[in-house]
Homo-oligomer: A and B are copies of this chain.
Amino acid sequence: MVEAMYYSVDPYMRGRMNDAKSYISSFETDKPIEGGVVAKVIESKSSDFKPGDLVFGRLPWRLQTVVAVIGLQSINAIIAPASYYLGILGMPGLTAYFGLMDIGKPKAGQTVVVSGAAGAVGMVVGQIAKIHGCRVVGIAGSDEKINILKSDYEFDDAINYKTTPDLKKALAQSCPNGVDIYFDNVGGEISDAVISQINFKARIIVCGQISLYNSSEIPTGPRLQPQLLSHSALMQGFIVSDYQNRFGEGLHQLVKWIKDGNIKYMETKLKGFDQLPNALIGLFKGENMGKMIVEA
Contact = CB atoms under 8 A, between A and B. Distances in A.
B228 A235 contact: yes
A225 B209 contact: yes
A223 B228 contact: no
B226 A224 contact: no
A222 interface: yes
Contacts of A238: 229, 232
A184 interface: yes
A19 to B, nearest CB: 14
A191 interface: yes
Contact of A229 (B188, B221, B237): B237
A189 to B, nearest CB: 10
A242 B201 CA distance: 10
A231 B238 CA distance: 9
Interface in A197-226: 200, 206-209, 212, 218-226
Contact of A221 (B207, B223, B239): B223
A163 interface: no
Contacts of A224: 224
Most buried by B among A184, A212, A219, A223: A223
A60 interface: no
Given A23-B200, A200-B23, A233 B223 contact: no
Q: Is the contact region of chain A dominated by helix, strand, or loop, or is it mixed?
A: mixed
Contacts of A72: none
B23 A225 contact: no
A229 B212 CA distance: 12
B218 A222 contact: yes
Given A231-B237, A237-B234, A239-B232, A222 B219 contact: yes
Given A221-B223, A235-B235, A22 B212 contact: no
A226 B242 contact: no
Contacts of A222: 218-220
- 6 smallest CB-CB distances across A and B, nearest first, come from A228-B237, A229-B237, A234-B236, A219-B223, A235-B235, A22-B230
Given A15-B230, A206-B228, 11 more contacts: A187-B225, A188-B223, A209-B223, A209-B225, A218-B223, A219-B223, A225-B237, A228-B236, A229-B239, A232-B239, A235-B236
Interface of A: 15, 22-23, 184, 187-188, 191, 200, 206-209, 212, 218-226, 228-239, 242
